[in-house]
Amino acid sequence: MRAATMVLSILLAGCASLPTAPAVEATEAAGPDLDAIDALMADYTGEVPGASVLVLHEGEPVVRRSYGLADVDAGIAATPATNYRLASVSKQFTAAAVLLLVDDGVVDLDGPVRQWLPELPPIADGVTVRHLLTHTSGLVDYEEVMEPDPPEQLRDADVLAILAGVDRAYFPPGSDYRYSNSGYALLALLVERASGMDYPDFLQARIFEPLGMEGTLAYTREGPAVRERAYGHTLVDGGWVRTDQSSTSAVLGDGGVYSSIDDLARWDAALYDDRLLPDRLRTLAVTPATPTDDPDVQYGFGWRITGDRLWHSGETMGFRNVLVRWPERQLTVVVLTNRNHPQPYPLALRIAGRFLD
């Protein structure tokens, strides 16, 4: 089910990515043949778990469409305001939170993590904040050592408690790369201790509210409800079954943010100028810091880097998402889905190909 073409005046204040962006109404009609986009999204159309697609080009939302259902059981259609669990796309917000505290002069990127998290075992003595941001800490993945089927969902604090009892590492800090959800859970706790605020409140006060991301939040069951929420689904024996939360879904730093394509347009705009972070820190976040296990990909702070392309995917129970940026071309593609397959990254690249020369 596709959303009708809409005048996007509600996004004008947040979507202009450059000070020179024209202050005029932007519509989908400014983009390429939208029937071609709809054809690419055909598998998400109808009474099935859906998707929302955003293409920003030169500060304009030239594609802003939703397909299928945000909630299959209730028959609720996805819309551009539907909030999906971003999974690891959330890591760019965790990295930005840390960089805000660096800009405040509170956190040192090359300072020891145990300054903030002394519960970590001695094996973490050489681990710095930068190592956590770049997945080069060597700390053990908490999902490998957690209790099977815990009675309650794990939180970031539980990740710290688990790692406090594991005095071994994959490699010495800074000597190798291994993607680490542990590292980003610890970063959320570091933000809490360095700021004196709960992590969801810090994100709200320092990122989401200033940028006008009104529907975005780091979700906890005891906190505010997710507005216009998409529920995750998994294909089982030919039918879609709701599979929305797992035992690790309440860990926030590595993947607990919910957002919509409308709010991510505002986030994207803030990545072009100083409204949130100064240029030196924004540049640092997307500067290759380490090679990864993919020879075509390097990693910065919460961003994968492939040539001139900045991106991050996110997958968790019932959701698959991706955000891809070509800053030099002023092009961004976001695909958010509430189903367990397929991976949307190849799809996002195909959509982007209609805009790239």
Closest C-alpha among 82, 11, 84 to residue 323: 84
Q: CA 250 → CA 96, 136, 231, distances in Å? A: 20, 24, 15
Residue 306 pairs with which residues in a beta bridge?
A: 309
Catalytic position from the list 52, 66, 88, 195: 88
Beta bridge partners of 259: 84
Task: Please give the Cα distance from 148 to 151 (Å, whole number).
Answer: 9
Rounded Cα distance between 252 and 355, Å, is 34
How many CB atoms are located within 10 Å of the residue 167 CB? 12
For this structure, is 182 an active site residue?
no
276 phi and psi angles, rounded to 5 deg: -115, -55
Contacts 24+ apart (CB under 8 A), 306-315: 310/286, 311/345, 311/348, 312/88, 312/89, 312/91, 312/92, 313/88, 313/89, 313/343, 313/344, 313/345, 314/86, 314/87, 314/88, 314/89, 314/90, 314/255, 315/87, 315/88, 315/340, 315/343
Tokens 């092009």 correspond to: 331
Q: Which residues are catalytic?
A: 88
